[in-house]
Amino acid sequence: MREQEYLKNVVTLKLDQKKCTGCRRCVEVCPHNVFDIKNKKAKIVDKNACMECGACEKNCPAKAIEVKAGVGCAAAMVTGFLRGTAPTCDCSGDSGSCCS
């Protein structure tokens, strides 16, 4: 079992197997081994481990993957909410707490 487990059944990850060509890119880029290739098609094997980083969607040449990517940072969401913008990480200044 993974050491860390976050909230279940919340992620926005979707895979359209019909479009998939089985190129393996999603398997290569996912930092949480969410995908596997079965019968020459990608398969989501561990959906709850997805952190919605967006790497798979961005690197799928067949556009078979959809995920609402973003930064999972509470401070960023508060700032985004207050400013009415999308959540952003403040990593440009000297105080970026989201990014090390």
Partner 1 sequence: MENIKRVSTELTFQDKFQSTLVRWGVGRMVHKIDPGIYAVNNPTKDSPVFVSANYKLSFDALRKELKGIDAFIMVIDTKGINVWCAAGKGTFGTDEIVNRIEKTKLKEIVSHRKIILPQLGAPGTSAHELQKKSGFQVVYGPVRASDIPAFLKVGMKVTPQMREVTFNLSDRIHLIPMELVAAAKYVLVVIFAFYMISILTGKTDAGVRAAINVLLAYFAGAVLGPIMLPRLPGKSFSMKGFFVGLIVVGASCSFNWIGRGPAEIFSWMLMMPAISSMILMNFTGASTYASPSGVQKEMRIAVPLQLAAIGFGLFLWLIERLFGV
Site track 9-38 with ligand SF4 (rule: CB under 6 A), x = hit: ----x------xxxxxxx--xxxx-x----
Is residue 80 helix, strand or coil? helix
Q: Is 95 in the site for partner 1 (CB under 8 A)?
A: yes
Structure letter (DSSP) for residue 93:
S
Smallest gap from Cβ 40 to partner 1, in A, equals 18
Residue 72 touches which of partner 1, ligand SF4, none (CB < 5 to 8 A by kind)? Answer: partner 1
> Closest Cα to residue 46, out of 97, 4, 77?
4
The C-alpha atoms of residue 81 and residue 84 are separated, in whole angstroms, by 5
Owner of token pair 């959906």: 47
- Which one of residues 18, 84, 85, 94 is an interface residue with partner 1 (CB under 8 A)? 94
Q: Is 76 in the site for ligand SF4 (CB under 6 A)?
A: no
